[in-house]
Structure 1
Amino acid sequence: MLIGCHLTIARGYKKAAELALDIGANVFQFFSRNPRGSSNRELDLEDVEGMREILRKHDFGPLLAHAPYIINLASHKDKTYGMAKRILKEDYKRANEISIPYFNFHPGNHVGMGVEYGIQRIIDALNEIITGNETTMILLETMSGKGTEIGRNFQELKAIIGGVKYDELVGVCLDTCHVYSAGYDIVGDLDGVLEEFDEIVGLERLKAIHLNDSMIEFDSNKDRHARLGEGTIGLDAIKNIINHPLLKDLPFYLETPNELEGYKKEIELLKELRD
């Protein structure tokens, strides 16, 4: 089972890998830079190699870099849009340089300009950023649908992917809290949700799972993560998700509201729930 959580790289990539080992993880996710700012640290290649050595030695699964929250590739404001493209381009390039398999981002908010407008802005940006020579796959995250978010349904994800020239480098990260809040009943009809995803997007595009419970009721269009078993999704549904034949071999990344000890306990719990 490939299971881990979100870890900070503020003290370095090697330290993050060591922390992952300490809590029983064999994958992890990290922000590509300050999640709520534009600052970025200089790359230390010795530190990166230290991380790689740990990953090789302990047979880690794919790492996932997460773009900062501040970027909005659907924005109509030139300054906001330009900054988002610059950050995504820089961080995607770095992810490729250090061989991170997946780079995830929130598609964006059209802020009243309309879904079609926002989707086209995202497509245009990705076509500037992806050259076709990369090895890192960009993942669109499924969103809860609050406000003017794009990515609230599978059709919107399909529209983005369909407009990207090098679409073989674009996949999807499914967030369990987000899709449940967006109205996809992964508790009562997981098979049906996956069938719909396959028909619209294609299961071959699904590369990662953000595994979270939800503080909010089904179809609320709100994004509030809960610890596993403490929300409206519940442990029975979580168990079904991690053991589902179409999902069980994917990497699962916890984004629950926890410190390291909490993540360690959830990883242990998931291992017990695994068939």
Structure 2
Amino acid sequence: MLTIGCHLSVAKGFLAMAKDAVSIDANTFQFFTRNPRGGKAKAIDPADMAAFHEFAATHGITRILAHAPYTLNPCSKNPETREFARTTLADDLVRMEETPGQFYNMHPGSHTGQGADTGIEMITDALNEVLHADQTTTLLLETMAGKGSEVGRTFEEIARIIDGVKLPDHVGVCLDTCHIWDAGYDIAGDLDGVVREFDQVIGLDRLKAIHLNDSLNPCGAHKDRHTRIGEGHIGFEALSAVTKHPALRDLPFYLETPNDKLSGWGEEIAALRAVWENE
């Protein structure tokens, strides 16, 4: 079965997110751990969490993906920003143990003019501070589009971060289709080649989740502007092929496409499921 969902609001609670997912035929979902543009995290409600676990088990939701706030930047030249990133990462990884065995996704960070080498070193240092051998959560580094001073614009940069982590078994990768397209990886014209390159540089065993997004930009634009599936330069056929690829089809997929209502994601999920299930 295709495991696919969208980004939902944790402000409503875990049970509400799970119910919203089921209402659009999703069997997974993504959520921000806290305000995406700030640092405040909502307290976890034990009753809501217990109800979520019961509902999820009944409706086949076994995989969820948490997303760190956009303000998290462990390789900023600003010491206060780096400290916020470390503190937030540590706190989020503790909170994630309320949903054992799940994924926590983060943008690696922006080196803010210090250079990619320095950025990679700072990110690795931060991860080595917050990762613990007894955690059940797998931290995922997201592939980036390469705008500005983003780190993680190439598979090689992601691999270098992982290579420096002392507990590599707790680290994986979330591949964003819009981001890698904008970074110059032609998943529409040579998906097999991109998958092969990922395997050679990082290893497919590290790939744990996929953000499935179309792009408003041509390949290699280094911008990062998501659009609905089939309404961008990547196209429906190419993105559907991503969900069906033998090396990718069993991974969870998460839509981060611009929709004002749940029904919009429901339409995208239905279209992708129809093709996937007819294979």
Structure 1 position 222, deviation (Å) = 0.6
- Pair 1:266 & 2:277 matched: no
Structure 1 position 272, deviation (Å) = 0.9
Residue 250 of structure 2 is matched in structure 1 by 249
Residue 72 of structure 1 is matched in structure 2 by 73
The unaligned stretches of length 5 or more in structure 2 are none
Q: Percent identity?
A: 50
The unaligned stretches of length 5 or more in structure 1 are none
Please state whether the residue corresponding to 2:209 is helix, strand or coil: strand
Please state whether the residue corresponding to 1:132 is helix, strand or coil: coil
Measured in 1, the distance between the counterparts of 2:229 and 2:275 equals 12
- Pair 1:117 & 2:123 matched: no
Confirm or deny: 8 A CA contact 1:61 1:251 kept in the other structure: no
How well do the aligned residues superpose, as a CA RMSD in angstroms?
0.8
- Pair 1:48 & 2:63 matched: no
Structure 1 position 97, deviation (Å) = 3.0
Residue 149 of structure 2 is matched in structure 1 by 148
Please state whether the residue corresponding to 2:243 is helix, strand or coil: helix
Structure 1 position 62, deviation (Å) = 0.9
Confirm or deny: 8 A CA contact 1:2 1:61 kept in the other structure: no
Give the alignment of 1:92-241 within 5 angstroms. Answer: 92-99=93-100, 101-241=102-242
Measured in 2, the distance between the counterparts of 1:103 and 1:74 equals 18
Measured in 1, the distance between the counterparts of 2:163 and 2:77 equals 21
Structure 1 position 98, deviation (Å) = 2.6
Aligned partner of 2:55: which letter?
I
Aligned partner of 1:33: which letter?
R
Please state whether the residue corresponding to 2:76 is helix, strand or coil: coil
Residue 91 of structure 2 is matched in structure 1 by 90
Aligned partner of 1:71: which letter?
L
TM-score norm. by structure 1 comes to 0.99
TM-score norm. by structure 2 comes to 0.97
Listed one character per residue, the Cα deviations across residues 174-202 of structure 1 (whole Å, up to 9, x for unaligned) are 00000000000100000000110000100
Measured in 1, the distance between the counterparts of 2:140 and 2:97 equals 14
Aligned partner of 1:133: which letter?
D
Measured in 1, the distance between the counterparts of 2:93 and 2:68 equals 9
Structure 1 position 100, deviation (Å) = 5.3
Please state whether the residue corresponding to 2:248 is helix, strand or coil: coil
Deviates more, 1:135-144 or 1:50-59: 50-59
Measured in 2, the distance between the counterparts of 1:182 and 1:135 equals 31
Measured in 2, the distance between the counterparts of 1:238 and 1:118 equals 31
Check 1:175–1:245 CA distance in 2 against 1; reply closer, same or farther (3 A cut): same
Deviation beyond 6 Å, 4+ runs, structure 1: none
Aligned partner of 2:53: which letter?
R
Deviates more, 1:168-177 or 1:34-43: 34-43
